[in-house]
Structures are given as C-alpha cells and as structure tokens.
Structure 1
Amino acid sequence: MDRNEAGAIFTRFLQTLPQGTATDIHILTDADADGLPAGALLLRALHAAGYTRVTAETRKKFENAWLPEVHARLKVRDPKALLLVDLGARPDELLPGVPTLLVDHHAPFGTPLGAVLLTSYGTEPTATSGLLALWCAQAIAPALADELQWMAGISLLSDLGDKAPFDELAESKARFGATALKDLTGLLNAPRRTAAGDATEALELLLRGASPKQILKGDDPALAALKVAKAEVNEALAVARKAPPKFSTKWTDELGADMIMVRVDTPCQVHPLVAQIWRPRFPKAVIFGVNVGFRPGFVHFAGRAPRGVNLVQFLRNHTPAGADGTFGGGHDQASGGALPVALWNPFVAMLGFGPELQVHEDAHAGLFAEPVSH
C-alpha cells in the first residue's frame, strides 16, 4: 500500500456514492492518537473537497464497531455512507446497504459483505491509519492535506514511535516542531485511557486546530480537559508500575518466546502501557499487561512481543470458545483481548500461569485476585 494506491481506492469509493458531495457521510474512528487524527483528517479533507454533510465520532470505552449498541447508534444517525477508521476489520455486516469504507492497518479478520477495505496490513513498513488518511486527503484536497500533515506525524509517533520509517514523520517534525508533536501526541492519547474513556474532546480539538503549537498554546477548553485526563492516567500508571511480573515458559517452543504477565487493577486503560514499560527489562519475552479492574466482569489484557514473534497468530490459535470477534486483533507484535472471568481463568491457566492470575467476581465489589498459594 502506497500513497497512490490509497488515494485511488478512496476516490473510487467516493465516486460510488449516489448523492455525490451531498451524501450524508459518517466517520466512526478509534479513540487513540492514531485513530483521532485519521478521522479528523478525513472529515476536514472531505469538507474541503465539497462534501459538506460529514460527521464524526470516536468509539467509547469498551466499544468495538460491531457491538449491537454501536449499530443502534449508527442507525439513528442514518448515514448514507460510513467510514470506519482504525477499528479493525471483521466479516460481520455493519449497516446493510450502506456504502462502507474501512481504513485500517491491523491484522484483519475479514471484510464485511459489500464493504471496501483500505489496509496497509501485510506491507513493510506498515503505514498507520493516520498516514493512510493523509494519503486519502492528498487525493481530494491536497492543499489542506499539506497544512495538516502534522496529524499523520502524530499518528506515526503514537503507533510506531520516534523512529518510524516514513518520510512524513521527519517532515512533520521539521515543519511543525518535534517537541510540540510529541507533547500533543501524549495529550491526545490520554482521554481514552481514563476511567471515563471518552475522547470526544480530543477529536474536537483536532477538528478545530491549525497546528500542534497553536493547539498547545491556545486556550481551548478541550485542551484543559486533555491535561486533566493526562494527570488521571499518570496517577493510575504510577500505581500500576509497582505490580510484579509473573512468568510462564509453557508455550515457549510454539510462541518463540517466554511469556510474562503483570496484573493491575484500575478502571484506567493503562495495561498496554504496563506491557510497554516492561519490554526493555525482558526484550526477548512477550509481555502482557493484565487489567482486572478496567471493566466489571471482564479481564482485559494487552501484549507486546519482540520482532519475529507473531502474537496475533498465537492468540488466534488459542482463542477460547465464546470469546468475541476482537480477540487476537491488532498487530503481529501488539495484540490482546478481553474475556469474561469465566473464560479468563481457564485461559490463563492454559497459558501456564498460577493462582496469582486467577480472579473471581464478587457481586458487590468487582474483581479480585485469588489468594496466592504458599
């Protein structure tokens, strides 16, 4: 997938819309610092190209695009075209009869019947959703895309880090300021990690902002909200950092690495950060951040694997019966899932972890670790 191919797929999709620029288009995007700039770029580019009936929203806490409540919300909006951005790809139908384009870079499970999948998965290096969105924007509104290139820079920083192998990151740093890009990336990632998990204000900030420096120096109320969110997440992460790691070598031969789990208990989505924090300590192992307090009745976990270890394939090979369709999604070296407690306990035992990773559900007090055997 390159700039020309992405732009061609996007423009062909727009050409199929029966009402053309008068089409009611709705964008549903992920709530992180890849999905947010991707959604904002697409909306602003479409507006600049004359598509004036375009709206956007982010997914909410616990949501994926295929949940019944999400379908119900989309049906109320009654869009005539749907853009699903940075939310994965599954074969299940979304809005039957509504032209749908999925813009994504994760390992797909399939494509909904009749939908178009614009994906960079399987290409190296793998473009982020924000970079794909920039390439789409360049095809329909090149002048605006040039002004908003920094959004793709944020996307690359968020998902691939400071050394992302794309020219757009270096160009964004030079034009818009490396420090400003980094600071804004951290703020944009904060709201979806809070206990509330609502990134609406982060998206609105990107829909109004002209540049990272202008946003960071401005007095937009949404910016203040992002700073409060970041403080909340930092506080939860400070506690989570103290959790000890647990080890398993049961599947080392199949996986190609030992497994390590770090259990935390917080309504904040810090388990992916916990996995990332422990990676330098154990660079040859798969690290899972496991959160028993994120969602009542469920255990959420996020894994990070060294290069050459296909974590997606391993998890899909061992998906428990009854897991939802998002289990084992993500990237080859960054995957995870969520399981009800009744499925989590046998799953984590199968992986070779002991009673310290078992949890039980108390009807009045949520999830707790079982006492560790001595």
Structure 2
Amino acid sequence: MGKRDRSPSPLLEDFGAKRQHAWPCDETAMEKAREFVRRCATNPTSPILLLPDRDADGLTGGLIFHRTLRLLGVPPSSITTHFVTKGTSIHAEGEREILEGYGARRVIVVDQGSRGAGEVVRGAEVLVVDHHWSAEFPSKAEVVNASHYPPVATSALLAYLICEPLHQRVPETCAWLAVLGTMGDLGTGVAWTPPFPDLSWATKGVGKSKMGEAVGLLNAPRRTAENDVRTAWQALLASNTAADVVSPSNPSFKRLREAKAEVAAETQKWARTPPKFSSDGRFAVFEISSPAQIHPLIATRWSGYLKATNLEALVVANTGYNPHRVHFACRIPRSRKSQITLPEPDLITLLSELAAKVDGLREKLGDDYARGHKEATGGVVSMEAWGLLKEAMELGVKKEGGGVKGGKKVTQRNTLDQYFKR
C-alpha cells in the first residue's frame, strides 16, 4: 500500500448566525447527502459499502440508508455492510486495507466518529453521517455532522431526515428505526418536541420499557468478547417494528439474550473495582482487564454513585480488550451535573489539558485519544502512553491543602465502602 494522505481536512467554517437557525445540520450539507444517495441509485449495479457503527444508533442509521437504497431500486447484491474489526476503527491502516478490498464505488459511513484522517476509501465517493464532536473530517468526503447544531441529532435521526424526502415509503419503513436509534443514545425519555420531528407515531403501541429492552439487546453483541455485532444487524434486518426486535420469533432473539447475559456477568465481575484518584481530585480512574467492551458500562454505573468534592471525570481503562492497547471510557459524575453552581466539565477539553501537562505526551497518545462527545468520551492508546497519562494524573497521590504538604507525597488508600454505595 502506498503512503496515505494524512493531511487534515479544513476546519469547520465559522457557523455564526447561520448555526442559530440551521437544524439538524447545514441544509446545504443535507441536500448534498441526498444527492449522494440519489447517485447511488443511478447505477444500481455499482457496489455500495455501508459502514455503520456497532451500537443501536449506528446500526439503525445504517439500516435506514440500506432500506432507502432498496426503495430506490438498488438490489441487495449491490450493498455490502461491514463492521470494523474488534478494537480498531475505519481509520486504522489495516482496516482501510480491508475496506478497499470490497471495491466499492460509493461508501456511506454512519456514526463512526469524525476526524481529519485522510481518505476513508481511496478512489471511492464517501458520505460521512455523524454527530460526534469534531472540527476536522476525512478528506474528499461529503459530511453531515450534527455536533455543532444543538440540540444535537443522533446519527439515526440524521439518516432519517436525509432519506425521508427521497421516497414516499421511507417514513413507514424507517421512522421507527430513527426513534430506536435516538433512544439508544439519548434514552427512552427523549422528548419529540421541536426542533426534533414528532416521530412518536412510529412506535405507537410499543412501550418505553420494550423500546429500552430492544436497545439493550441490540447493544449487547458488540460488547461481547466475540464482538458479535452481525447478530444485532441480522435482528434488525428481520424486523419491521421495534416489537419485532424483542420477539422470540426473531431468528436472532436467542443469541441476543445470550449476549446480554454474557455482558451482564462480565460487568458484574468488574463493577466493584476500586478507584484511584488524581492528585488534584479531578479524575477517578478504574483499571479493569476484560475481553468484553464493558468499560463504558462500568463508567456509566460509577457515575451515579461516586461523589467527591473536586471530581470532574471518571475514567475506566480496560487493558484486556485489545492486546497491547488500552481502551478507556470517560464520563461526568452525576453529582457534578447536579451542582448548578459549578460548570459542567467538557471532557474532551479536560483530557486534552491533561495530555498537555507532559511534553510530547499528546503525540504519543495518538489520533484515537479523547474522541466522542464532550460529556461522554474515551479513547484507545498504547500501554506506554497510558502509563504516562497516569503519571500526569499522579494517581494515588494526595495533596493536602491544595498542594503536597511539606513536599511529601501521601499514598491514597481507597475502599469500596467509601465510594461505592448501592
């Protein structure tokens, strides 16, 4: 393989007044995305590659494009769906070689996290639909990114709003997918009030508990050690309503339940891992070693229990998910969110400031550091970089009175009884 163009794409324009009125994204970008989908249908035998993320939002967003393409006359033989290899991303060199092997002329990327990382697939037209915070995007791609247009639409909702005008049957076949994907990221209590479209009709008769169950089942396979995301995709392909996802008659139902039980057991195994605090008290760090992608679940769980005066971020690092790499999830403690007198932390900024404390550390952390949302982020770093990051935090070192008392470092002693109460 030749050397990639690693030059970043241009920074986002200064949105200014235009951002005040545009939603869910700049209308020019939305219309370019629709034209992209229309071009896919002009030559229905030309190979198309779908690259949806592996969670409920990404999967449903990907299926919205899949079903829209089918409505526009594209045969299933022309559409290939690829899920990234466990522990990697579409931007990794090895993964890009796999993507180029499909020989696709057009590629639709959904919910994969935006970054300036050269071309996704060389020689192909690429559409990127995303809602993760970024100011840079893959080169030579059409981009629809909602992160700068609050309230931020999920990727599934973006996909639906792009595709809805393209065929009269999109609402009846895809609106429920947009609702399910949105609930996957924003919770079942999401309000379908302006500027969000009122899609409550799409899941009428399906209660919130069943919607939540569907989200949980769809999210479970990709968290297993086997990264069995194809099962969740097959479950959606076989469904015409959200109720079908959780029906025992769904061919994938049994495996979905098994995956959920497997993830629950692994989560329980590591849930009581005690934290270590940074010397300034802003970070609480939990280190686990699991082949399952449970670090985000544990971070979310701890965010509801852990309380400390200066705490701004919980970090759960998993050293067992991928050999030679550390995957971590970062969340804001709910106690911090409830303190209206204190600003809510921007996790991406917080992690960037931490990395800047050590010369050369930011470069060692790489392109997969501090990716996601301001309130829910994470990353993938080398073992060496993770060790340096812990040193930057001064884990387990307590500074009395805002500094190191008498120049002496005091080793912190944490217990679960102190910090984890059910």
TM-score scaled by structure 2?
Answer: 0.77
1:286 matched to which residue of 2?
A: 313
Does 2:214 correspond to 1:184?
yes
Q: How many angstroms apart in 2 are the aligned matches of 1:18 and 1:146?
A: 20
Deviations 1:296-355 (A, max 9, x none): 222211001255311112223426322331211100111111221111111111022139
Partner amino acid, structure 1, of 2:94: E
1:312 alignment partner, one of 348, 354, 358: 348
Q: How many angstroms apart in 2 are the aligned matches of 1:268 and 1:171?
A: 36
2:144 alignment partner, one of 118, 135, 146: 118
Does 2:91 correspond to 1:66?
yes
1:80 alignment partner, one of 100, 105, 124: 105
- State the 1:120 CA deviation: 0.4
2:381 matched to which residue of 1?
A: 339
Does 2:321 correspond to 1:298?
no
Gapped runs of 5+ residues in structure 1?
253-257, 356-371
- State the 1:128 CA deviation: 0.6
Contact kept, 8 Å, 1:81 with 1:98, in 2: the verdict is yes
SS of aligned partner of 1:26: strand
Q: How many angstroms apart in 1 are the aligned matches of 2:135 and 2:83?
A: 21
Contact kept, 8 Å, 1:45 with 1:145, in 2: the verdict is no
1:366 matched to which residue of 2?
A: none
SS of aligned partner of 1:294: strand
Does 2:351 correspond to 1:324?
no
Q: How many angstroms apart in 2 are the aligned matches of 1:259 and 1:233?
A: 26
Contact kept, 8 Å, 2:41 with 2:72, in 1: the verdict is no
Partner amino acid, structure 1, of 2:391: A
* Superposed CA RMSD: 2.4
Q: How many angstroms apart in 2 are the aligned matches of 1:186 and 1:30?
A: 15
- Structure 1 residues 298-307 or 236-245, which shifts more? 298-307
Partner amino acid, structure 2, of 1:110: E
Alignment of 1:1-374 (within 5 A): 1-2=23-24, 5=27, 7-15=30-38, 19-52=42-75, 53-91=78-116, 92-108=118-134, 110-167=136-193, 168=198, 170-250=200-280, 258-282=282-306, 285-305=312-332, 308-317=344-353, 318=355, 320-354=362-396
Q: How many angstroms apart in 1 are the aligned matches of 2:326 and 2:30?
A: 39
Partner amino acid, structure 2, of 1:248: S
- State the 1:21 CA deviation: 3.7
SS of aligned partner of 2:300: helix
- State the 1:173 CA deviation: 4.7
TM-score scaled by structure 1?
Answer: 0.86
SS of aligned partner of 1:322: helix
Change (3 A) 1:218 1:45: farther
Q: How many angstroms apart in 2 are the aligned matches of 1:169 and 1:191?
A: 27
Q: Which one has the largest radius of gyration?
A: 2
Q: How many angstroms apart in 2 are the aligned matches of 1:266 and 1:169?
A: 38
Gapped runs of 5+ residues in structure 2?
1-22, 338-343, 356-360, 398-410, 414-422
- Structure 1 residues 135-144 or 82-91, which shifts more? 135-144
Contact kept, 8 Å, 1:7 with 1:137, in 2: the verdict is no
Contact kept, 8 Å, 1:271 with 1:289, in 2: the verdict is yes
Q: How many angstroms apart in 1 are the aligned matches of 2:138 and 2:110?
A: 14
Change (3 A) 1:128 1:346: same
Deviations 1:210-267 (A, max 9, x none): 11222322433322111111111000011121111222253x7xxxxx2111222211
Contact kept, 8 Å, 1:7 with 1:138, in 2: the verdict is no
1:367 matched to which residue of 2?
A: none
- State the 1:274 CA deviation: 0.8
Partner amino acid, structure 2, of 1:235: A
- State the 1:60 CA deviation: 2.7
Change (3 A) 1:119 1:98: same
Contact kept, 8 Å, 1:83 with 1:102, in 2: the verdict is yes
